[in-house]
Amino acid sequence: MKKTIYVESILVKGEWKAQQIMTVENGNISTIVDSGDEENSEINSTDERITGTVIPGYVDTQVNGGGGVMFNHAPTLENLHIIADAHAQFGTTSLFPTLITDDFATICSAADAISQAIRLNHPSIMGVHFEGPHLSVAKKGVHKAAHIRSMSDEELAVYTRKDIGQVIVTVAPENVSPEVIQALVKENVIVALGHSNAPYEVVQRALDAGATGFTHLFNAMSPLTSREPGMVGAALLSDAICGLIVDHQHLHKKSAELACKVKGEEGIMLVTDAMAHVGGTQDTVAFFDTNITRTKTSTGEKLTTPDGTLAGSCLDMHSALVHCVNDLGVPLKSASVMASTTASYFTHSLDNIGQLVPGAAANFVVLDDKLNLKSVWQQGVNIHNND
């Protein structure tokens, strides 16, 4: 099926273009042309007209839950649909459901659910992110210490399955050897480093072995100090891509601003680390043997366990982009890159998602001049409208 869409303003390959006509066929962009092109016979016969600013749909590589459910609690195809729908209303058109540290049976169930979604060509689900269980107990955060462990051959076999899309695995380099990282990378698994108390040299060996990312920069990792650069220092100095939770709870605004300035738009990908609360109505959600509760703060909302430990976020990707522009001074173009293109590059999917070019999926969001989210489009279809 072919559709033509007139757009008032659109971000294409890092450039703003005005008054364009996008042609969509079978969910993918086939052309984007200037509406003033006299050779274009479709100028006056477009199927849709979009006023506002069009940028790529958001790509989130760290989504623990949404719509009232956690992926860990019931790793099923049904819950994947619920989570994806919850985030789609906030502009996330591509995501990586994330399994927090758990037992082996749950890891297998999660992989099976992802496999079903991939087989059914779910438009939002690109693969899976296993955040743990191969982490550091010292930097576990909300992860359950009893489940933290070294990687077994059986777990390695799950991570290298070829039917679960692109796989991301977050590991602590003091718990996973460079040889294991090399084995994962050889099988096209993306290795990110996080939840780690490793010194700089150990982190660097993991990067040399093929790790290409850092999970939620600054949070749950060895800090940068005067005599020990730690994981934070290694991340800032490296070419690896860093996930950043810009909810004003995980990071001081100036820390987030520093990261954006040091790494640039191609080195930072915005992530939510979202829990069940996003797109849900509950303020308190059960999590293993504790509860996670949403509370208001002077800078927004945060999620914590009863002892005050931060437990993911109730952030959505559109809010993350707005925080970057309004509070960190990041230009909209750069914030858009961090909310979509960089994650697509990180996950080896830039040809399909994260940018609006011929051949890519017609996934985009429409913003008004105050950055309000007007509508969300996936594969050329308006799936959410705030007008």
Q: Which tens digits make up the pLDDT trace of 129-149?
A: 999 999 999 999 999 999 999
The mean pLDDT value for 370-375 works out to 98
Total domains in the fold of the chain: 2
**30, part of any domain:** yes
CA pair distance 177, 156, nearest whole angstrom: 13
Helix, strand, coil shares of the chain, percent, nearest 5, are 25, 30, 40
CA pair distance 312, 129, nearest whole angstrom: 15
At position 174, the amino acid (one-letter code) is E
Do residues 49 and 65 share a domain? Answer: no
CA pair distance 349, 112, nearest whole angstrom: 22
**216, part of any domain:** yes
The mean pLDDT value for 150-178 works out to 99
Strands 268-270 and 241-244: parallel
**341, part of any domain:** yes
Burial, 180: exposed, middle or buried (Cβ in 10 Å; 0-12, 13-18, 19+)? buried
Closest CA to 78 of 62, 57, 97: 97
pLDDT of residue 36: 77
Q: Which tens digits make up the pLDDT trace of 284-305?
A: 999 999 999 999 999 999 999 9
**121, part of any domain:** yes
Quick one: how far is CA 311 from the chain centroid?
Answer: 17
The mean pLDDT value for 113-137 works out to 99
Q: How would residue 38 be classed by pLDDT, with cut points 50, 70 and 90?
A: very low
Token pair 């955040």 is found at 131
**Other beta carbons less than 10 A from residue 75's beta carbon:** 23
CA pair distance 110, 17, nearest whole angstrom: 41
Length of the chain: 387
Do residues 341 and 367 share a domain? Answer: no
Do residues 138 and 177 share a domain? Answer: yes
Catalytic positions are 273
**89, part of any domain:** yes
Domain of 50? 2-56+356-385
Looking up residue 148, the CATH number of its domain turns out to be 3.20.20.140
pLDDT of residue 387: 78
Burial, 168: exposed, middle or buried (Cβ in 10 Å; 0-12, 13-18, 19+)? buried
The mean pLDDT value for 70-80 works out to 97
**351, part of any domain:** no
pLDDT of residue 1: 79
Do residues 38 and 149 share a domain? Answer: no
Closest CA to 256 of 286, 307, 219: 219
Residue 313 contacts by C-beta under 8 Å, 6 or more apart in sequence?
245, 247, 249, 250, 272, 273, 274, 275, 278, 302, 303
**pTM tops 0.75, yes or no:** yes
Does residue 43 carry a pLDDT above 90? Answer: no
Angle at Cα 68 formed by Cα 117 and Cα 142, nearest 5°? 95
Do residues 187 and 336 share a domain? Answer: yes
Beta bridge partners of residue 24, listed in sequence order: 3, 29
At residue 256, the 3 state secondary structure works out as: helix
Q: How would residue 218 be classed by pLDDT, with cut points 50, 70 and 90?
A: very high
Do residues 235 and 160 share a domain? Answer: yes
Do residues 50 and 73 share a domain? Answer: no
Q: Which tens digits make up the pLDDT trace of 332-355?
A: 999 999 999 999 999 999 999 999
CA pair distance 321, 95, nearest whole angstrom: 16
Q: Is 197:174 a contact under the CB 8 Å cutoff?
A: yes
Q: Is the peptide bond before 133 cis (omega within 30 degrees of 0)?
A: yes
Do residues 177 and 302 share a domain? Answer: yes
Quick one: how far is CA 94 from the chain centroid?
Answer: 8
Burial, 274: exposed, middle or buried (Cβ in 10 Å; 0-12, 13-18, 19+)? buried
Do residues 98 and 68 share a domain? Answer: yes
Q: How would residue 44 be classed by pLDDT, with cut points 50, 70 and 90?
A: low
Helix axis angle, 200-209 relative to 230-237, nearest 10°?
40
Do residues 216 and 189 share a domain? Answer: yes
At residue 311, the 3 state secondary structure works out as: coil
The mean pLDDT value for 357-378 works out to 98
Do residues 206 and 65 share a domain? Answer: yes
**Other beta carbons less than 10 A from residue 41's beta carbon:** 8
pLDDT of residue 39: 55
Q: Is 85:295 a contact under the CB 8 Å cutoff?
A: no
pLDDT of residue 199: 99
Do residues 123 and 18 share a domain? Answer: no
Q: What percent of the chain is predicted at pLDDT more than 90?
A: 96
Q: Which tens digits make up the pLDDT trace of 221-269?
A: 999 999 999 999 999 999 999 999 999 999 999 999 999 999 999 999 9
pLDDT of residue 37: 58
